[in-house]
Amino acid sequence: MKDVHLDSVDVDGIVADLHSSQAAYQQVIAQHGLTEVPTHHAGYLYELLTGRVLLGEDCRTELTVDERPYYSHVKRAIDITLLSLSLPFTGPIFVVASLMLWLESGGPVLSWHERIGQYGEPFQMAKFRGVDAGDGRENATSVERLIQKLRINELPKLWNVLKGDLSLIGPRPKALDFSPELFEEETLLEYRHYVRPGITGWAQVTHGFAVDEARRELEHDLYYVKHRSAALDLLIVYLTLKNVLSGFGA
């Protein structure tokens, strides 16, 4: 943005390109006396249009994360409230699914997997035994396939929500050895852990529960961390219910 000539034209608004930082275009505004003109960085407009924080060599990503302590407390209260209200429905389903798994092959019905939690703290996440691997696996049992098909494989994670390891809504928890080849974007991965991971999240409802492209998922997760709010959480809840019923991202 070095060669900018705005003195001789009427300016209704400014959109800065992705190759310059927000500090750079703010300097241009100050130099030309345009502080009263609506100004936006192209990255901001991109976020509004796509629901993602753009990553890549063609832009300079600047991420600012607010504390929002009241939101965190309210969200935790909502998690516990919704969890309590859902128990009359999810409890019997969990018991029946567990009993079916046990009757089919015996042994423990749950498996425990280490995941990265808020602020990078590891925790043990509960899953139904063999269910995640059962999707498309040749030796998957009929019960494992049924649990996967009915999408009740997330139920054991409600225990982690009760403990505070997970939230109902947040970025998907990653394994400790998660290390995508994102090169310069790797420094932004730590922002994912600024909030509690969740059972469902912005990446899953917009890109599918089977999202496996590391950069695209990170773009959605960073958008959620940056713009998290009660309104966005309600939208994710609505889209999750809609996607589950429609089979999106299965």
Q: Show me where the domains of the chain are located.
A: 14-50, 69-246
Q: Which two tokens stand for residue 166?
A: 């997970």
**So what's the pLDDT on residue 134?**
44
Helix (H) or strand (E) holding 114: strand 110-116
Angle, to 10 degrees, between the axis of helix 214-227 and the axis of helix 42-50? 100
**So what's the pLDDT on residue 114?**
94
**So what's the pLDDT on residue 22?**
60
Percentage of the chain modeled with pLDDT above 90: 36
Q: Which two tokens stand for residue 102?
A: 């046990």
Least confident of 11-20, 83-92, 126-135, 225-234: 11-20
Residues 6+ apart with CB under 8 A from 167: 75, 76, 79, 161, 195, 196, 197, 198, 199
Residue 165 pLDDT > 50, yes or no? yes
What type of residue is 217?
A: E
Place of tokens 């309210």: 74
Q: Averaged over 183-195, what is the pLDDT?
A: 75
> Using one digit for the tens of pLDDT, what is the confidence trace for 44-99?
777 878 888 877 655 555 667 777 778 889 999 999 999 999 999 999 999 999 99
The number of angstroms, rounded, from the C-alpha of 218 to the middle of its chain's C-alpha atoms is 8
Q: Which two tokens stand for residue 66?
A: 């607010």
Q: Which two tokens stand for residue 72?
A: 């965190």
Place of tokens 């409802």: 205
Whole-number mean pLDDT of the chain? 80
Rounded-to-integer distance, Cα 133 and Cα 87, Å: 26
Least confident of 28-37, 95-104, 207-216: 28-37
Residues 203 and 171 sit within 8 Å (Cβ to Cβ)? yes
Q: Give phi and psi for 110, each to the nearest 5.
A: -115, 150
Q: Give phi and psi for 31, each to the nearest 5.
A: -65, -35
**So what's the pLDDT on residue 217?**
87
Rounded-to-integer distance, Cα 108 and Cα 127, Å: 11
